A and B are shown apart, each in its own frame.
Chain A
Amino acid sequence: MLLLRLLVLGAAAALGTIMVTAIRALPAGASELPARLQAALPASGVSHPVTAVLLNFRGYDTLLEVAVLLLAVLGVQGGRQRNRGAATGPIAPQPALQALARLLVPPMIMVAGYLLWAGAHAPGGAFQAAAVLGGAAVLLRMAGSIGNWNAPQSALRAALVAGLLVFLAVAAAGLSSGSLLRYPSGLAALLILLVEASLTVSLGLMLAGLFLWQPDAPGGGRQ
């Protein structure tokens, strides 16, 4: 066992050394992409290059990524449905954590809103804001303030897919000006904000659902 671990460690170290050597052998400044990105940035609707690439120049990747996340949440649900006896039961309210949650969750929601808005001109964006919202949900769950989603109703399920649907609708609307996901010039900033806002809500719910969505155990579960 120890020999196997040493072998794996050695192989990983060798691979790491090879990769570091290869990257250091690359000539600096070899790609012309940064210059082209800076040239095309004013036309993209946002002023932060990362957001422009994520939501405009390579918007397809983001669209498929959101679909993959939705599939991941559904896949986790499939596993949990099969293993129903393992659902986490209700957590007793923890006073210290609840006090902390009362202090932290409102600023976390504000930070999420700020990250969403700031994504246009500074580091931020939909995924970061959604991650903060998911973290707030996990904090509330651990504090015992909210319970699991045992059987989400249609409103929650609709909110889960709303981000992907809005993104798809915007992509389809781009058909009128040429190809899929081509924003009409002048509307790019507005459409990006719309897509990011709906993605924030949906992705936040998806990340929270990864933790909170536990189907009912047969017979009521652990009390």
Chain B
Amino acid sequence: MNIMFDLLLVAALLLSAVRALTVREPFRAVVLFIIFGVLMALAWARLDAPDIALAEAAIGAGLTGALLLDTLGHLNAVARGERR
């Protein structure tokens, strides 16, 4: 039972990481990165490292995701010519 969960987690981690790097639209890449962060927090929890899991979920998935989305907004506005 546990081994199945771990294998699925590893497969999901690899899949989301590869897709985050190869997908065309940057927005999808950022969303996949956030998903990767949440799955990574699960992986840390499975490895008996709850402190790192807490930090990864909050910072890796939450804060970095928000910063990336903010940057994406700026890039889109620059591309539209609104701002320099």
A138 at the interface (CB under 8 A from B): yes
Once the chains bind, are B51 and A128 in contact (CB under 8 Å)? Answer: yes
Q: Which residues of chain B (51-67) have a CB below 8 Å from chain A?
A: 51, 54-55, 58-59, 62-63, 66-67
Once the chains bind, are A222 and B59 in contact (CB under 8 Å)? Answer: no
Once the chains bind, are A210 and B84 in contact (CB under 8 Å)? Answer: no
Q: Select one of B22, B54, B84 contacting A131, CB under 8 A.
A: B54
A10 at the interface (CB under 8 A from B): no
Once the chains bind, are B18 and A138 in contact (CB under 8 Å)? Answer: no
Q: A5-B22, A135-B62, A138-B62 are in contact. Are A127 and B82 (CB under 8 A)?
A: no
Min CB distance B83 to A, Å, is 5
The count of chain A contact residues (Cβ–Cβ below 8 Å) is 22
Q: A88-B70, A123-B50 are in contact. Are A9 and B63 (CB under 8 A)?
A: no
A163 at the interface (CB under 8 A from B): no
Q: A135-B63, A138-B63, A222-B82 are in contact. Are A127 and B73 (CB under 8 A)?
A: no
A88 CA / B66 CA spacing, docked (Å): 13
Min CB distance A156 to B, Å, is 18
Min CB distance A38 to B, Å, is 16
Q: Which residue of A lies closest to B71 (CB)?
A: A86
Once the chains bind, are A142 and B66 in contact (CB under 8 Å)? Answer: yes
A131 CA / B56 CA spacing, docked (Å): 9
A159 CA / B12 CA spacing, docked (Å): 40
Per-residue contact bits, chain A 190-223, to B (CB 8 Å; 1 contact, 0 not):
0000000000000000010011000000000010
Q: Interface SS of chain A: helix, strand, loop or mixed?
A: helix
Q: Which residues of chain A (32-87) have a CB below 8 Å from chain B?
A: 50, 85-86
Once the chains bind, are B54 and A85 in contact (CB under 8 Å)? Answer: no
Q: Select one of B63, B82, B84 contacting A207, CB under 8 A.
A: B63
Per-residue contact bits, chain A 1-25, to B (CB 8 Å; 1 contact, 0 not):
0000100010000000000000000
Q: How large is the interface on B (under 10, 10 to 19, 20 to 34, 35 or more residues)?
A: 20 to 34
Once the chains bind, are B58 and A124 in contact (CB under 8 Å)? Answer: no
Once the chains bind, are A134 and B51 in contact (CB under 8 Å)? Answer: no
Residues of B within 8 A of A85 (CB): 83-84
A83 CA / B84 CA spacing, docked (Å): 9
Q: Can you name 29 A-B pairs with beta carbons within 8 Å?
A: A9-B18, A86-B74, A86-B77, A86-B83, A88-B70, A88-B74, A115-B54, A123-B50, A124-B51, A124-B54, A127-B55, A128-B55, A131-B59, A132-B58, A134-B58, A134-B59, A135-B58, A135-B63, A138-B62, A138-B63, A138-B66, A142-B66, A207-B59, A207-B63, A211-B66, A211-B67, A211-B70, A222-B77, A222-B82
Given A86-B77, A211-B66, A222-B82, 17 new contacts (CB under 8 A) = A86-B74, A88-B73, A123-B50, A124-B51, A128-B55, A134-B59, A134-B62, A134-B63, A135-B58, A138-B62, A138-B63, A138-B66, A142-B66, A210-B63, A210-B67, A211-B67, A222-B83
